Amino acid sequence: MEGVINDRLNTYTKDQREINNMLKLGTLYLIPVTLGEDNITKVLPPDVVSVAQQLDTFVVESEKSARHFLSTIKTAKPVRELTLNLLNEHTEDKALPDLLKPLLAGKDVGLMSDAGCPGVADPGAKLVELAHLKGIRVVPFVGPSSILLSMMASGLNGQQFAFLGYLPVDKTQRNQKLKEIEKRSLSHKETQLFIETPYRNQHMLEAILSVCQPNTRLCVACDISLENEMIATKTITNWKKSPVPDLHKRPTVFLLLA
């Protein structure tokens, strides 16, 4: 039975490639972006830069940051001549098919997040989903992901972890959510990752230290891959004994393991 299934899958893959060739569909390249003003050669492999340099059509989360990145890598065409289509948290689902039109017409397109890897904690995931439904080839490239890098460096459970995005802004709701997160972490032995708007990072750290249990471990991963990178894991008790780091307006990932 397994052999039959594999044969069918191989036939489907071959047929899909043939269909794509006949239709001359473009390829959707997932282009990682640096996490800040850092040396591109240190965090992006040469093939990523090379592909991005040759593309002239992109779907981007932020036009300003995209233009800065593309100017830095020196694209083949002047940046002013590139086509940048916007896809962010405000983009309606009904607009997604229009973003896919260049690919359906045979043009290769680069998908870029504001920072880090597109499709991960990023609205670009919706376009990738639609591309798969249309049989468009999707090619991910290696690049910096603050979520994965912080998990790697935390020393917490990397076998089971969950990324939760943003927690509630309201203080009462946030504290309740932190208690729920800690409880889940304890029952599942699962590392919990979450982020906050950079100018509210200090409030988030204070809330964690006031709500969580003494033996819960907290990793604070700040300015990942940048010159001022700071990654530290301590129990809540030891964090309270240490000088509180200044996280204001510094991109930070918080990781909890109860």
* Cβ-Cβ contacts under 8 Å for 157 (sequence gap 6 or more): 189, 190, 191, 257
What's the pLDDT at 14? 56
- Which H, E and C letters describe 27-57, residue by residue? EEEEECECCCCCCHHHHCCHHHHHHHHHCCE
Tell me, yes or no, whether 93 and 53 share the same domain. Answer: yes
Q: Based on the structure, what is the number of domains in the chain?
A: 2
Contact 128, 18 (CB under 8 A): no
Tell me, yes or no, whether 52 and 157 share the same domain. Answer: no
What's the pLDDT at 4? 47
Tell me, yes or no, whether 22 and 128 share the same domain. Answer: yes
Q: Among 101, 122, 140, where does a domain finish?
A: 140
Tell me, yes or no, whether 17 and 57 share the same domain. Answer: yes
The closest of 83, 117, 118 to 101, measured between CA atoms, is 83
Token output for 160:
């089971």
- Residue 103: is its pLDDT beyond 90? yes
What's the pLDDT at 78? 94
Tell me, yes or no, whether 232 and 130 share the same domain. Answer: no
Token output for 56:
């002239």
Per-residue pLDDT reduced to its tens digit, 116-160: 999 998 999 999 999 999 999 999 999 999 999 999 999 999 999
Q: Among 85, 119, 140, where does a domain finish?
A: 140
Q: What is the mean pLDDT of the chain?
A: 90
Per-residue pLDDT reduced to its tens digit, 196-214: 999 999 999 999 999 999 9
* Domain span at 168: 146-257
What's the pLDDT at 247? 94
For strands 252-257 and 217-222, give the pairing: antiparallel
What's the pLDDT at 16? 54
What's the pLDDT at 229? 94
Tell me, yes or no, whether 31 and 158 share the same domain. Answer: no
Tell me, yes or no, whether 66 and 193 share the same domain. Answer: no
Q: Among 122, 140, 158, where does a domain finish?
A: 140
C-alpha pair distances (Å), 144 with each of 121, 151, 203: 13, 12, 26
- Residue 176: is its pLDDT beyond 90? yes
- Residue 22: is its pLDDT beyond 80? no
C-alpha pair distances (Å), 6 with each of 2, 18, 230: 6, 18, 47
Here the CATH number for the domain that contains residue 191 is: 3.30.950.10
CA Rg value for the chain: 21
Here the CATH number for the domain that contains residue 97 is: 3.40.1010.10
What's the pLDDT at 39? 72
Tell me, yes or no, whether 88 and 157 share the same domain. Answer: no
When mean pLDDT is compared across 33-47, 77-91, 109-123, 214-228, the lowest value belongs to: 33-47
- Residue 2: is its pLDDT beyond 80? no
Tell me, yes or no, whether 113 and 201 share the same domain. Answer: no
C-alpha pair distances (Å), 155 with each of 17, 19, 234, 236: 42, 46, 10, 15
- Residue 253: is its pLDDT beyond 90? yes
Tell me, yes or no, whether 216 and 160 share the same domain. Answer: yes
The closest of 245, 171, 258, 172 to 214, measured between CA atoms, is 258
What's the pLDDT at 112? 95
Contact 29, 109 (CB under 8 A): yes
Question: What does DSSP assign to residue 191?
Answer: E
Tell me, yes or no, whether 118 and 203 share the same domain. Answer: no
Tell me, yes or no, whether 105 and 48 share the same domain. Answer: yes
What's the pLDDT at 5? 46
